[in-house]
Chain A
């Protein structure tokens, strides 16, 4: 069964550094999302992406964050200057075209900012 994959599984970075988290969506999926989950808390929506542009973003998704699909396969989340509070699990999710809201989640990337 096709799966969403994410790399790396764990990233440790120093405060102020830039990080890029990568997601490979399921091949026929056209809607892409990033969520984050701070340890012990609920999953929070960050941003959705469709047709090569941001569709919706939450108030968490500020100017430090950006997303792109640089090569038509990977979907990336960039954090320009990481803060301690960016430490979290970041999940990518995707779903096919149309009004299917069944989002398929990747295994996540654990980001630790020191």
Chain B
């Protein structure tokens, strides 16, 4: 069974500083990987996704993530955070096989706090 681990429950970063949120996955084959962001009381917005090809993927809002197969990781990065980036961030994995109707498996999330 697939699983996702986000080891950091909370992260506090100063505005303008760089950010890295960690995500490790467990899956027996090639996974599809996602990062979603959830602001308080809101739904989930897709930041970026990795299906295949270039292991460094660019997303919205200046975020990027790097897929490292050898480390089973898909860490999210941003060079300079803004106060509006404060939110909950979820890493998710989906099966790259099957008929296309597989549910995503989410990590527990990382709560990002931005200090002024």
A-B contact count (CB 8 A): 70
Q: Which of chain A's residues has its CB closest to B43's CB? A: A107
Q: How many residues of A contact B (CB 8 A)?
A: 31
A102: which of B42, B46, B96 is its contact (CB, 8 Å)? B46
B43 engages A108 (CB within 8 Å): yes
Quote the shortest CB–CB distance from A56 to chain B (angstroms). Answer: 6
Q: How many residues of B contact A (CB 8 A)?
A: 25
Quote the shortest CB–CB distance from A96 to chain B (angstroms). Answer: 10
Instruction: Tell me, in angstroms, the Cα distance from A31 to B37 when the chains sit together.
Output: 22
The SS class assigned to the B binding surface is loop
| Chain B residues, Cβ within 8 Å of A99 | 100
Proximity string of chain B (62-101) to chain A, C-beta cutoff 8 Å, 1 when within and 0 when not: 0000000000000000000000000000101010100111
Interface residues of B, Cβ cutoff 8 Å to A = 32, 34, 36, 42-46, 49, 51, 90, 92, 94, 96, 99-109
